[in-house]
Structure 1
Amino acid sequence: MTPLIQAEQAVLGAVFLDPGQLDHLSPWLRPDHFSRPAHRALYAAMLKLRADGHPATTISAGEPLPLAWVTDTLQEAGTRTRGLTAPYAHSLVSACPRPAHAPVYGRMVLEGAIHRSVAQHAIRLHQAARADGVRGGVEETIRHAQILSDVLTDLAHRWGTDPRPLAPPAPSQPSAHQPQPVDEEVLADEEFLLGCLSVRPDQLLDVVGWLHPDDFADIGHQHIYRSLGALHHRGEPIDQLTMLWETQRRGALADGSLDAERVLRICDPLAFSGAAEYFGERIVQASLVRAAAMAARQVRALADTEALAPGRLIGYALHALGPLDDVRRRWRAASESETAPLRPAGPTDAPAATRIDAARSRSPLPVTAPAPATASATPACSPTPDRHPRRSHS
């Protein structure tokens, strides 16, 4: 018999011996906090008899307990489940060390219920994420993620703590971070989006506000997206060669996450053409489902750790849901954004001279003495006229 079952028996035995303990238990301990159906039925019966004004629940201290308290409780519980007998009720009484310690036993029951409830809702979230990943939706994932968040908040209040995210000590649960297989269609969407952005870099402005590098399932695609954003942010030209050079500068070729042939193929101007927003939304949607599955695995691993105190379990679980909440907000921004008219297709809007000057600015010439001014001297090139304010792509 586990300590949790013993605690449930001790709570019921304490209430059988002293019904007044319900005054301390009823505000925060519910029947569904008990793991066994028989225990849930008995505790629910006790609460009902108390609400109906049973004589045993209104006696003063020192007065004898009516014998009908046990028999009436068994009779009421018998309407909710079967198999309850008088000898079992007496065994519950024997299982209680001290009736005055009922609130402590009740907190043991609540602690077990918190672990069990968090684990159950984490499993449901993981199942919803897997189902949405197959059918290509996010509705059930978002709904179960919100349910899990609400359950954690309610459990925190019942335990008497604030529902605050708490970062667990490193290292975190290793089993929860195992890489999961990614659908080939998702990888194809990512590759197509990167190709569209390399052909029309101006479309970066349509997705940069809600599409992050971590939304890409493939780490090589993450490097390419960061490189695209960096080149566009600096006002430099984007083509196969500049992309290959930027990915090399960022170490993506050295660490093996990319190779030159793959970069050139993705950035081929003749291979891809389309609207970036549509594929960006699909990528964020897939990222949301993956984040939900990851969070569910982490929360399940935490809930299965019996040595973890409820307050820390709730805080760690809320922290694990943080990345999912971020992706969910960006998914909402992507799905609610109005479709803007497509810009005219073209390699870039900047004049050729300005683009050449921007590329040269990365490798300035050595400083020399200023040449004498002449009437035909060319004025200094101004910054790229359509360069967008500072944005972060890395």
Structure 2
Amino acid sequence: MPHSTDPYEDDLPSPQPVHYAEQSLLGALLLEPHRLPDIRVLEADQFSNHTHGALFQAMRTVPLPDPEAHRSDPAWLNAVLDAARPQAPGLTISYLHTLVQVCQWPQHAPTYARMIQSDHARRTLLIRAQRLAQTAADAALPNRAVATLGQADALAQFLDTLAGQFTPHPGSLPRTVLPKQPTARSSEEALDEERILLSTATAHPAALKGMRWLQPDDFTRSLHAALWQCLTSLVHRAEPVDPVTVLWEAQHRGLLAGDLAAGDLMALVTAPVGSAEYWGERILQRALLTRACDVATRVAAYAEDPANTPHQLINGSRRALADLTALRTRWQRSTAPTPPTAPRAPRSPAVARAGPPPRATTTRALR
């Protein structure tokens, strides 16, 4: 019967490849501790197995033995075991010997360390993507959009950190097949806000000139997006805007070809409430949060695919975040306070310039 290579085999699922990389690295360091200084960039919390991380940290804590004495004296192994046991009580000396037996190529220790780093980067990226999705979906947050953008910034900063740790490969993109996004069901609240915006914008079309930050793609229903285009087109052409002109524009755009009756469309744009800017900001914020969820789903799909290299994860995640940037810029433009107009200072009356001094009249001139 083959000997187990895991102290908690009964409690863990089938080991992943990184598990064997961790075992090989630890075995190499137990066999040849003088290689520890070559593994400076690796940290104990980057191990997927807590016991392995505790053992690695203990190796760094215990002073290195003399290479010749270490070949025949297990004192250093016992010291490492004693240092690791407070954090890993189930660790045994037999498992340390198993790790030594597992590693056949101690000289490959730096490569094993990079494997562990890569897998840790993938797991951390997945956690950050999940945080982004959870924040965007948390309706209890007082300022959900700001909190969501904060998580997006944290994700971008993490990608910048990864880019400095791994060798770049320009043009390398993930090969992950992204899951199809389920057809989003518009909430009744979102539909009501869009209807109110269309009615309010019809009643106060002058507000549309300052609402270029709102785009048809921000609406959850295609009919509402098309009616918004009708309104913006009328305003752009400086034509009168009222329910009748909107209906006429909608007819030219083919919006009445289906089941939508003219009377229904008229009723849709004849119930204004409040200001168009307020409802536009609400719609844009909802679109921002939806886009953030989509970005988080893409990044999580990349991170869950172990076939992706760290640089593929970086490139794919950055492209996903770029899709959020344009919408973020429009949202910030919509919520930016209007700069106060400073009153003009009264113009002071012009001061007459002093002329040249009068010419002195000499006695000779008088003569």
Partner of 1:83: 90
Q: Are residue 19 (structure 1) and residue 26 (structure 2) matched?
A: no
Q: Deviations over 1:205-254 (max 9, x none)?
A: 2221x222222222222222222222211222223343234334445555
Q: Deviations over 1:308-333 (max 9, x none)?
A: 22211221112112222322232222
Partner of 1:180: 184
Give distance in 2, aligned partners of 1:200 and 1:337: 21
Partner of 2:220: 217
Is contact 1:10-1:92 (8 Å) kept? Answer: yes
Pick closer, same or farther for the CA change 1:249–1:33 going to 2, 3 Å: farther
SS at match of 1:55: coil
Partner of 2:203: 199
Q: Deviations over 1:34-92 (max 9, x none)?
A: 1111011112222333xxxx133xx57x7755633322222222232321111111111
Residues matched between the structures, number:
326
Give distance in 2, aligned partners of 1:20 and 1:264: 82
Partner of 1:266: 268
Q: Which amino acid aligns with 1:180?
A: A
Residue 168 of structure 1 and its aligned partner are, at CA, apart by 5.7
SS at match of 1:26: coil
Partner of 1:311: 311
Residue 6 of structure 1 and its aligned partner are, at CA, apart by 0.8
Give distance in 2, aligned partners of 1:257 and 1:332: 38
Pick closer, same or farther for the CA change 1:81–1:10 going to 2, 3 Å: same
Superposed, 1:1-394 pairs within 5 Å as 1-27=15-41, 29-49=42-62, 54-56=63-65, 64-65=70-71, 67-132=74-139, 137-161=144-168, 173-175=178-180, 177-208=181-212, 210-253=213-256, 260-268=262-270, 271-338=271-338
Q: Which amino acid aligns with 2:27?
A: G
Pick closer, same or farther for the CA change 1:244–1:93 going to 2, 3 Å: farther
Q: Deviations over 1:273-332 (max 9, x none)?
A: 421121122112211211111111111112111222221122111211222232223222
Q: Which amino acid aligns with 2:130?
A: I
Give distance in 2, aligned partners of 1:168 and 1:261: 50
SS at match of 1:274: coil
SS at match of 1:280: helix
Equivalent pairs: percent with the same residue?
A: 34
Is contact 1:126-1:292 (8 Å) kept? Answer: yes
Pick closer, same or farther for the CA change 1:258–1:5 going to 2, 3 Å: farther
Unaligned ranges ≥5, structure 2: 1-14, 342-367
Is contact 1:220-1:257 (8 Å) kept? Answer: no
Unaligned ranges ≥5, structure 1: 342-394
Q: So what's the TM-score if we normalise by structure 2? A: 0.79
Pick closer, same or farther for the CA change 1:231–1:167 going to 2, 3 Å: farther
Partner of 1:365: none
Residue 266 of structure 1 and its aligned partner are, at CA, apart by 2.3
Partner of 2:349: none
Give distance in 1, aligned partners of 2:237 and 2:340: 24
Give distance in 2, aligned partners of 1:148 and 1:3: 26
Give distance in 2, aligned partners of 1:183 and 1:202: 29
Q: Which amino acid aligns with 2:278?
A: Y
Give distance in 2, aligned partners of 1:241 and 1:219: 20
Is contact 2:34-2:64 (8 Å) kept? Answer: no
Partner of 2:354: none
Residue 144 of structure 1 and its aligned partner are, at CA, apart by 2.0
Q: Deviations over 1:131-162 (max 9, x none)?
A: 13786732432222222222222222222338
Pick closer, same or farther for the CA change 1:205–1:22 going to 2, 3 Å: farther
Pick closer, same or farther for the CA change 1:326–1:133 going to 2, 3 Å: farther
Residue 12 of structure 1 and its aligned partner are, at CA, apart by 1.1
RMSD: 2.9
Give distance in 2, aligned partners of 1:167 and 1:75: 45
Q: Deviations over 1:3-24 (max 9, x none)?
A: 2211111111111122233333
Q: So what's the TM-score if we normalise by structure 1? A: 0.74
